[in-house]
Structure 1
Amino acid sequence: MRLNPAKCAFGVSSGKFLGYLVSQRGIEVNPEKVRAVLEMQPPRTTKQLQQLTGRTVALNRFILRSTDKCLPFFKILKKAFVWDSKCEEAFGNLKEYLMNPPLLSRPVEGEVLYMYLAVSSSTVSSALVWEEKGIQKLVYFTSRALRGAEERYPRIEKLAFALIVSARKLRPYFQAHAIRVLTEYPLKKVLQKPDLSGRLVNWAVELGQFDIEFHPRTAIKGQALANFFLEFCNTPEPRDPAQHPLWVVYVDGSSQCQRSGVGVILESLQKQKFQYAIKLDFTTTNNEVEYEAVLAGLAIAREVGALDVEIRSDSQVVIGQISGEFATQGDRLAIYLEKVHDLQSSFRTMTVTKIPRERNVQADALAKAGSATDQEIAKMKRQVLVQPNLSIDKSQCVMQVAREREPEPEWASDVIRYLRSGELPSHKEQAHKVKLQAARYTMVDDMLYRRGYSHPLLKCLSALEANYVLREIHEGVCGNHSGGRMLDIKAVRAGYYWPTMTRDSMEFVRSCDKCQRFARVMKNPPKRLTSVLSPWPFSKWGGGLGRSDAMREGEKEVFGGGCRLLHKVGGS
């Protein structure tokens, strides 16, 4: 066998593969494709601009924030062709970047990959890297332009959208490696919130099939990644004051021995102003009442549809803890701070500012009015808050009635451990299965709930609780001894779930004594009756014939159906 030397290569150190230069150093961009872009003149027609964007798309994997660099080109393609100064500047920056493109590498199978996310007002981008000997090496750049309603997503949803875009485009990497998303935003809490709906639920379920973990962003160990965040993440998003005004929220709290109050003033740049006085019908400390004021202000701002808010308060402790300058002391303040961060995800931007007390006089007056007695302000309307604004009340000052802890569903023990502490089974396939299941569940007040697309949260029950629920629905006060399928539907409507609820409902109805005792007896045959035809013609005519003693030779007596017939055998 003779081989063509021009088509065969054995033991070479580098070569072209799928349009890239692959060597021991890594994956390099094809110099011919780079030269084709560098030698281009500024486009003069729409067709030349399309050639430029097409050649740039072929190099997207190597171009940092490629969509952002080519965004001026995409805008003029949708309108009349006008090559302006912005396009000329973007064209020059693109050529300058391609003069020294980055070097990509192929990750080792089974290694952990790290992903950095970045968003702006019009694009989402990501960078996939892996670490070797303490050095982070680039694997892939992804970028996508936001279209239509996607541009109006809150910043935290844009980050989730950047992750879902990367997972769809880099699916082979996500399936073969464990992914660690490094971000400073509470992206994990947002995707696991119990009140998710719409697209966030779909994204959470879609991402549940991959081995994804969220960690805080650490030190960046590479110049390319440093440029990624320096040029992209810190770019301020332009704000249109007419469409998205900045709302300033003045908050203050008043804590006394037996009563407390909160004052909130919501003011926009268009001089819209809302004032609220809230009475706290429970005991609080000075810092707790300040947190209650911040939570009330954020809740009111969310109701009016504010996207950009600025919280102004005269409490140095609360402002310092929210901004991260001060450490949080105590369990209750930590829960308050977590609640503030959860509400922060509802806004595009949220800033906190410490102001002097003399600039917060109106909010202080409202807080004192909220803490006053009913006789002192008989003509003033105010809201009353009867319990602390905590997701988990850990108060030790107020006596609480202890109740027996409800049993946990035994069929979801692995999912509960994963949602609580991130613990997974040691077996790899079982761990992957738990992650897929956990995407459809959430923990609320330390209890497991199942979430869906078109129904509210369903409480997950153990076998003992499921039996009790079926009995109450079937034969309780409002029970009507319905059938198995209807019993299953009623259990879902009541807000409960367990995996075998359809089968258990059928078996419960079959074992119900009253249902069996008073059920209608079906006398109809299970199948449609059909008339039986005679097997032989004239078979009934021989019923009255007797046996003849003298049978002719060649005849045989046949008995069939109680009739004795004489048939001639072998005769013609």
Structure 2
Amino acid sequence: MCFQSTKRSILGIYGDSEGIEANTLKIKAIIDMKAPTCLNEAQRLTGRIATLSKFISKSAEKSLPFFKTLRKAKKFEWGTSCQHAFEELKAYLARLPLLVKLSPEETLYLYLSVAPQAISSVLIREEEGKQLPIYYVSKVLNGAEGRYTPIEKMALALVVTARRLRPYFLSHPVGVKTNTPLKQILGKPDTSGRLVKWTVELSKYDISYLPRTTIKAQALVDFVFEMTEMTIKDASQDQKWLLHVDGSSTAQGSGASIVITTPQGEDLEFAIKFGFKASNNEAEYEALVIGMKMAHEAGAKHLLAYLDSQLVVKQVEGTYKAKEESMIQYLQQITDLKAKFHHFQIIQIPREENAKADSLSKLASSFENCLTKHITIHYLPEARTPLTIQPITTGEDWRTPIIKWIKEGLLPENRWKAAKLKTRATRSIIQEHILYKKSYTHLCSGVCL
């Protein structure tokens, strides 16, 4: 008895009711290849890899040794790193995963991964607790892109994936599973021009951001870590800046101290007098927020922050949960600031090890005479957490959906209305409870008042 195959071939890719698989002849062509001995053979190898890239997890990262060899046009060298990568690629192709088909309107999920010289992603569907791959995307970073911060590389990976898989993003809701502050960075209207451009580009899609879950599927094992070990190592090799902060609340007033130590060992000391009443914890948070901003403006990329407040340190780490509204708002500001550094770590230390910052905070809270001319004293008239104002009457107008999106992340249920709102709100900003329209150079005062 004869059975007719239900598989159909489109552009060398075979598909049936179970899913999509790569052309076995193209796989065999790479597996049967001998190690390249000249530039043309190496180019032939990378070309064959490119035809199978949608089936290969992190194809750009796996191909990096080959691309480095191709750049050496004058002298061809096939070293041990190339041979090792070549053998690993063959082993991977021997167990190439099957890409699944999807149903109309179902929610798809995206995992991202960044390395120092490449970015990768995998679009998946979840069915009965199983994680099934749909499409792999990968890209080698050029010179400028390689100097992006890790969070900018994550955003670039999302943008590149959306461009490559535009039909999927237009016809399906996509949940990006990440533990990085990607949503906060792309949702801020006061980010860099590059990020604003990407935010506008992504606003037409129905994208949500979800906490990363445990990866169980063997086909997704390469995406267990969002950041490769080399990326973390590169960040740790940056020059370290140290930040010691302390807050003080006394009967005479409240204040904070900031001591920033540069990689060269120079101490920058600041005492800040608050023009408002703050608790000890609020003063600690104010000091940390201001210190992080100062360190970033000074050029710090790798920052170690030292505090003696166990509560603040544990809340920033996520060990303790903040319940007070003011604490939640401070934590949001700190999350946004953390994304501006290549590496940030907060460390609790005993009070006696924070003596210099402690004495400066008491100086600021009482405004006694300064004993050294090297200490800079600032005055902060109001807290960095907005006050809650209760209006006598309230009503909704065209600004309400924009404000809800910026402050609470709320969107209309209709996908197209939500995309339109996100595009409209991209260049809007809230300052002191007022919605403004932001031009490319300054705030357009009065446009949204």
Normalised by the length of structure 2, the TM-score is: 0.90
Alpha-carbon shift at residue 306 of structure 1 (Å): 1.0
**Cα distance between partner residues in 2 of 1:352 and 1:430:** 41
Match of 1:329 in 2: 323
**What is the SS of the residue equivalent to 2:234?**
coil
Q: Is the 8 A contact 2:112 2:120 kept in 1?
A: yes
Match of 2:447 in 1: 496
Alpha-carbon shift at residue 219 of structure 1 (Å): 3.3
1:253 maps to 2:204: no
- In structure 2, the gaps of 5 or more residues are none
Match of 2:151 in 1: 156
Q: Is the 8 A contact 1:211 1:435 kept in 2?
A: no
Alpha-carbon shift at residue 403 of structure 1 (Å): 6.9
Match of 1:26 in 2: 19
Which structure has more RCO (C-alpha within 8 Å, separation ≥ 6)?
2
Stretch moving more, 104-113 or 22-31: 22-31
Stretch moving more, 372-381 or 195-204: 372-381
**Cα distance between partner residues in 1 of 2:273 and 2:407:** 35
Alpha-carbon shift at residue 298 of structure 1 (Å): 0.5
1:382 maps to 2:376: yes
Residues 445/120 of structure 1: CA separation in 2 closer, same or farther (3 Å cut): farther
1:211 to 206, 213, 218: 206
Q: Is the 8 A contact 2:113 2:226 kept in 1?
A: no
Q: Is the 8 A contact 2:257 2:287 kept in 1?
A: yes
Alpha-carbon shift at residue 204 of structure 1 (Å): 0.9
For residues 392-425 of structure 1, what are the alpha-carbon distances to aligned partners after superposition, in whole Å with 9 as ceiling and x for unaligned? 235xxxxx9x7777876x3344444444545544
1:125 to 113, 120, 123: 120
Stretch moving more, 313-322 or 424-433: 424-433
Alpha-carbon shift at residue 391 of structure 1 (Å): 4.1
**Cα distance between partner residues in 1 of 2:91 and 2:250:** 65
1:448 maps to 2:443: no
Task: Output the amino acid matched with 1:99.
Answer: A
Q: Is the 8 A contact 1:208 1:438 kept in 2?
A: no
2:87 to 87, 92, 95: 92
2:9 to 16, 33, 37: 16
Alpha-carbon shift at residue 382 of structure 1 (Å): 3.2
Alpha-carbon shift at residue 218 of structure 1 (Å): 2.6
**Cα distance between partner residues in 2 of 1:428 and 1:278:** 47
Task: Output the amino acid matched with 2:314.
Answer: G
Q: How does 1:2-81 map to 2 (within 5 A)?
A: 12-79=5-72, 80-81=75-76
**Cα distance between partner residues in 2 of 1:119 and 1:445:** 37
1:174 maps to 2:169: yes
Q: Is the 8 A contact 2:315 2:321 kept in 1?
A: yes
Residues 405/276 of structure 1: CA separation in 2 closer, same or farther (3 Å cut): farther
Stretch moving more, 174-183 or 415-424: 415-424
**What is the SS of the residue equivalent to 1:239?**
helix
Residues 351/274 of structure 1: CA separation in 2 closer, same or farther (3 Å cut): same
Residues 206/273 of structure 1: CA separation in 2 closer, same or farther (3 Å cut): same
Q: Is the 8 A contact 1:15 1:23 kept in 2?
A: yes
Residues 160/111 of structure 1: CA separation in 2 closer, same or farther (3 Å cut): same
Q: How does 1:299-338 map to 2 (within 5 A)?
A: 299-338=293-332
Q: Is the 8 A contact 1:181 1:212 kept in 2?
A: yes
Identical columns (%): 38
Match of 2:141 in 1: 146
1:433 to 406, 414, 420: 420
Residues 269/86 of structure 1: CA separation in 2 closer, same or farther (3 Å cut): farther
Q: Is the 8 A contact 2:270 2:375 kept in 1?
A: no
Task: Output the amino acid matched with 1:437.
Answer: R
Task: Output the amino acid matched with 2:239.
Answer: P
CA RMSD, 1 decimal = 2.8
Q: How does 1:415-430 map to 2 (within 5 A)?
A: 415-425=402-412, 427=414, 429-430=416-417
Task: Output the amino acid matched with 1:154.
Answer: T
Alpha-carbon shift at residue 344 of structure 1 (Å): 1.0
**Cα distance between partner residues in 2 of 1:286 and 1:435:** 38
**Cα distance between partner residues in 1 of 2:410 and 2:320:** 30
Match of 2:218 in 1: 223
Residues 163/446 of structure 1: CA separation in 2 closer, same or farther (3 Å cut): farther
1:134 maps to 2:129: yes
Task: Output the amino acid matched with 2:436.
Answer: Y
Match of 2:357 in 1: 363
**Cα distance between partner residues in 2 of 1:324 and 1:169:** 35
**What is the SS of the residue equivalent to 1:37?**
helix
**Cα distance between partner residues in 2 of 1:412 and 1:371:** 40
Stretch moving more, 384-393 or 95-104: 384-393
**Cα distance between partner residues in 2 of 1:309 and 1:378:** 26
Alpha-carbon shift at residue 172 of structure 1 (Å): 0.8
**What is the SS of the residue equivalent to 1:129?**
strand
**What is the SS of the residue equivalent to 2:116?**
coil
Q: How does 1:177-188 map to 2 (within 5 A)?
A: 177-188=172-183
Residues 148/272 of structure 1: CA separation in 2 closer, same or farther (3 Å cut): farther
Match of 2:334 in 1: 340
Task: Output the amino acid matched with 2:259.
Answer: I
Alpha-carbon shift at residue 241 of structure 1 (Å): 8.1
**Cα distance between partner residues in 2 of 1:240 and 1:180:** 28
Alpha-carbon shift at residue 342 of structure 1 (Å): 1.3
Residues 390/27 of structure 1: CA separation in 2 closer, same or farther (3 Å cut): same
Q: Is the 8 A contact 1:60 1:142 kept in 2?
A: yes
**What is the SS of the residue equivalent to 1:292?**
helix
Task: Output the amino acid matched with 1:52.
Answer: L
Task: Output the amino acid matched with 2:299.
Answer: G
Alpha-carbon shift at residue 108 of structure 1 (Å): 0.8
**Cα distance between partner residues in 1 of 2:373 and 2:302:** 34
Task: Output the amino acid matched with 1:263.
Answer: S
2:443 to 457, 468, 480: 457
Task: Output the amino acid matched with 2:443.
Answer: L
**Cα distance between partner residues in 2 of 1:115 and 1:429:** 21
Normalised by the length of structure 1, the TM-score is: 0.72
**Cα distance between partner residues in 2 of 1:50 and 1:92:** 17
Q: Is the 8 A contact 1:27 1:104 kept in 2?
A: yes
For residues 122-157 of structure 1, what are the alpha-carbon distances to aligned partners after superposition, in whole Å with 9 as ceiling and x for unaligned? 211111011222322111111112212212222222
Residues 380/407 of structure 1: CA separation in 2 closer, same or farther (3 Å cut): farther
Stretch moving more, 255-264 or 143-152: 255-264
For residues 26-48 of structure 1, what are the alpha-carbon distances to aligned partners after superposition, in whole Å with 9 as ceiling and x for unaligned? 11122211111111122121111
Q: Is the 8 A contact 1:369 1:377 kept in 2?
A: no
Alpha-carbon shift at residue 389 of structure 1 (Å): 4.3
**What is the SS of the residue equivalent to 2:224?**
helix
**Cα distance between partner residues in 2 of 1:211 and 1:435:** 10
